[in-house]
């Protein structure tokens, strides 16, 4: 299901351009418009799911596929050995601004812990 007022559904539909780096049956990934690291890719399901709170049991294969995408993209970007981070923000306090589930893949620099 796509949502007319969802930015990432618009990217999926090709209505908003994006630098797409990965596509599968269940997910696509594109470079973040405001990168926080040398590699910053946003991985989204083709299916519109708003937040982690909205993930159903039936969505588990799709959500799992986001991590498979992360592994493949990290390999392509040469990050597998040095390391990278995947982050999924849920709702406002965690910094979620786009309410279509997405995994951030960050790498190419040292990443502090704990995150801000």
Residues designated as active site: 102
Q: Which of Zn ion, ligand 5GP, none does residue 100 bind (CB under 5 to 8 Å by kind)?
A: Zn ion
| Residue 48 binds Zn ion, judged by CB under 5 A | yes
Q: Would you call 7 helix, strand, or coil by DSSP?
A: helix
Beta-strand relationship, 27-31 and 20-23: antiparallel
Q: What is the DSSP string of 45-65?
A: ESS---SGGG--GGGHHHHHH
- Determine contact, residues 88/102, Cβ cutoff 8 Å: yes
Q: Which of Zn ion, ligand 5GP, none does residue 27 bind (CB under 5 to 8 Å by kind)?
A: none
- Determine contact, residues 43/22, Cβ cutoff 8 Å: yes
| Residue 11 binds Zn ion, judged by CB under 5 A | no
Name residue, tokens 């946003």. 42
Q: How far is the CB of 27 from ligand 5GP (least distance, A)?
A: 15
Residue placing its CB nearer to ligand 5GP in the complex, 19 or 82? 19
Which x/- pattern over 25-64 shows residues binding ligand 5GP (rule: CB under 6 A)?
Answer: -----xxxxx-------x----------------------
Strands (E), 10-110: 20-23, 27-31, 39-45, 84-87, 103-107
Residue placing its CB nearer to ligand 5GP in the complex, 58 or 112? 112
Which residues contribute to the site for ligand 5GP (CB under 6 A)?
7, 16, 18, 30-34, 42, 89, 95-98
């Amino acid at each position: 299901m796509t949502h007319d007022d969802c930015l990432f559904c618009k990217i999926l539909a090709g209505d908003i351009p994006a630098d797409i780096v990965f596509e599968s049956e269940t997910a696509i990934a594109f470079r973040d418009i405001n990168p926080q690291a040398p590699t910053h890719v946003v991985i989204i399901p083709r299916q519109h799911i708003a937040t982690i709170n909205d993930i159903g049991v039936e969505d588990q294969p799709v959500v799992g596929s986001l991590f498979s995408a992360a592994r493949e993209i990290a390999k392509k970007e040469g990050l597998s050995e040095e390391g990278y981070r995947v982050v999924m923000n849920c709702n406002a306090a965690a910094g979620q601004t786009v309410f279509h589930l997405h995994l951030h893949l960050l790498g190419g620099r040292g990443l502090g812990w704990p995150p801000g």
